[in-house]
Structure 1
């Protein structure tokens, strides 16, 4: 009877780790003045009647720190890919050279850097909210287990463990945010 009155902390930990992974993925899409192949991940191209990620119609490379190239496999999609990049909101002006699209990454000005740090902070806050929601779910499960017969001492121990997991996850988010903001502000 006592064995089934335990909280599934592995599930809570997995969900908190998922929030951190999601945050890191969002951070990869932020442009920091240096080229990264993940910058074009959100770009969708109308290929063969379906919206397709650009990395599925060509090879994305980083030949130099401030240049991206996309080698489009099908020549008929070059124009559509160029248009998709222009309209993506990345602020990059593509240069077409045959089937290769060159994407020179412009230097970020101070105002744009500050805006990007605010966007990064927003992403981090959304991740913190997700972590707190997982914590709240864990606490709700503990209330139910207490009502089902879990001892108050065990319940308190589990609650402390959930709180420790939450604190560690939020500390991790703050650390990743600080590193990203430093990277963005680096000239």
Structure 2
């Protein structure tokens, strides 16, 4: 009779394949790195985009605006006219193309024709002896600018053609007279005070 002895050793276990676990861990790590890289790229893109946008906004030229008001208006009366000297305001970023004036304190406006773009300007068609409240504004491609303060002027009632004898300030031999900037100036060739002035051609003052 033959006896078969059973081995007391435990049966050998089948080897465990752990390669897929390693691959899974490597895949997880790779996926995590890719996710982080994608997130960093997204943040970087946002930063770069914001920087470019900010630079574009900062470097863009501001839109032009209407001109500022003229200032320091001075009116000189003429015959049926008035001459205005002034200091131009800022043009608002677009060149001044003309000026408009009002002779009724801003109720109505007229553009100069032909156009004028600097001081001084002459307003015609006025009535001698009538006082006008004149305002001025500049015009550019955007539109009408801010309005200046008013200045009053009364055109001369003399025409420098018809003359009337008046009492002179000095008993001199007066030889000539001229008019400019709202003032008459007479000059003599004899006497102590050889110059006299008048704003209306009637009342004269020795100088």
Q: TM-score range by the shorter chain?
A: under 0.3
Q: Which has the higher helix share?
A: 1
Q: TM-score, normalised by structure 1?
A: 0.22
Q: TM-score, normalised by structure 2?
A: 0.20
Q: Which has the higher strand share?
A: 2
Question: Based on CA coordinates, which of the two structures has the bigger radius of gyration?
Answer: 2
